[in-house]
A and B are shown apart, each in its own frame.
Chain A
């Protein structure tokens, strides 16, 4: 190889293996799903011929699809909203200096260390209607008199699953906020305190506006993760009772691997992929804008 061409190809060769692997493991299945979604597929995965958009039409006629879709929206909005509202004050506290902060950080981050599957198994047992110790604890404190069947009825089970969803999303979100808080300029706080600003005013007029980019990123990333999250609902109720806690991912999983409706399942995968794609583009644009901003700042500093 001539030395003239060596310089630009070296970095390309360095990124090539990772690129090829990602393309074949992540890129190829997308194409395969697009292809399958327009085929009639037998229960055993055999392609029976091209049918165009029939599978999509079938999905859009399916009442279970709509109920799962509505529940997905509720699930995503409730979990992401709840997580943000709880995480911001927690991050502000954890960013401040107080006795036992190290321990508090470890406890708040703990759910992140445990797989969602294990967390869901733990909660499924803790909430057991007959012998669960959540009931025991609530009865000990005389909050309830009878054990509650937490997971036996869909609305209650779904509410509990949302709360568990919030719990496991807090560590990641708090981490993003901690990163943001540590980068806030201290001098604007000092100036505001000199001017006699109250703590609430500091939060409302300095912290919140400066944290906005981090809040946006936390929203988009959490929407992506929560929208796609299977383990909590799958392990705690498997979408039941009577499909009452199904969201799109659990419904998709049932169609594909229990009922063998591969064409329909591919169509739903593709619909979900498009939603995901829109949010991903939003995220990439945000990251690019932020990098652009910080590059601008560097130029300003240099000048």
Chain B
């Protein structure tokens, strides 16, 4: 046996308990989403079931108003991502390219806002949204998600902007371009990959957020997906678990695939300066 093969077997053996614990609930999610309703509560509990009931998904879609919650989640996540990126680009550019007084202070301010969690401020935020007449409006979530994500987006963008050579812009200044045209024509096209990656992570953050959505949205029609699924579970005498699991499959699998595909960029961005 080659040393590498031996090592691989050892590593997989050591990693396997964790992998099992991570994957087990997903397995349970799939077999529950697909089994007939009357096979949910059998004794003794068992993994096997009589037939694959794909109709569960269609039933769930109608019964839990999945489509409505999906649209709400898409609206909130897309809008807040776009606004966060648009506001972050100039700030990240300033941090990456200019020396100015207060720069260090601003960076520390960003770090501190990143640490503020919505839950500690949730009561104050709720009262703020009452004053602004935004409670029960999806836009209250858009505004707060932008604010809470901005430290992350500025930090990520700045660390990528730092890797774009300054000489390219300087060359275009010598050719007579103003700093604004060099920003738009030279710099931003080079920064597109960084912006896309940062935008996707912001989108996932907003997509997954729970506390603020639970608090600021009061009417069932405006629930986002996490709150909608939670409301199918919490405080109910009878939970339709096969529907809940079908909804969870649809709400998590696409995001998990995108995240798994892009995670190396997150690791790279953090290595470039988000954590260090």
Contacts and interface: CB of A to CB of B under 8 A. Distances in A.
Interface of A: 8, 10-15, 17-19, 21-22, 24-26, 28-33, 36, 45, 86, 89-90, 93, 96-100, 104-119, 121-126, 128, 130-137, 139-140, 147, 167, 170, 175-176, 178-179, 182-183, 214, 217, 221, 224-225, 228, 230-231, 235, 238, 249, 252-253, 256-257, 262, 265-266, 269, 272-273, 276, 279-280, 283-284, 287-288, 290-291, 294
Contacts of A176: 270, 275
B248 A122 contact: yes
Contacts of B75: none
Contact of B229 (A118, A126, A253): A118
Interface string B188-215: 0000000000000000100111110001
B140 to A, nearest CB: 10
B28 A25 contact: no
A170 B47 CA distance: 28
A201 to B, nearest CB: 19
B98 A10 contact: yes
14 contacts: A15-B95, A18-B87, A22-B109, A96-B11, A115-B207, A117-B208, A121-B229, A121-B244, A122-B28, A131-B40, A167-B22, A179-B276, A214-B275, A235-B234
B270 A133 contact: no
B150 A22 contact: yes
A22 B106 CA distance: 11
Interface stretch (B50-58, B161-169, B251-259): B251-259
Give the secondary structure class of B's interface.
helix
Given A15-B95, A26-B147, A228-B119, A125 B208 contact: no
Interface string B250-276: 011001101110010011001100011
A137 B127 contact: no
Nearest to A98: B8
Given A253-B119, A284-B112, 13 more contacts: A10-B94, A22-B151, A25-B144, A36-B127, A100-B8, A107-B22, A131-B241, A133-B31, A179-B267, A214-B275, A235-B230, A266-B123, A287-B276
Interface of B: 4-5, 7-8, 11-12, 14-15, 18-19, 21-29, 31-32, 40-47, 87-88, 90-91, 93-95, 98, 100-103, 106, 108-113, 115-117, 119-128, 130, 143-144, 146-148, 150-151, 154, 204, 207-211, 215, 226-227, 229-230, 233-234, 241, 244-245, 248, 251-252, 255-256, 258-260, 263, 266-267, 270-271, 275-276
A273 B113 CA distance: 12
A169 B155 CA distance: 21
Nearest to B209: A115
Given A18-B150, A33-B124, A176-B270, A126 B21 contact: no
Contacts of A89: 14
B101 A8 contact: yes
A12 B154 contact: no
A79 B79 CA distance: 34
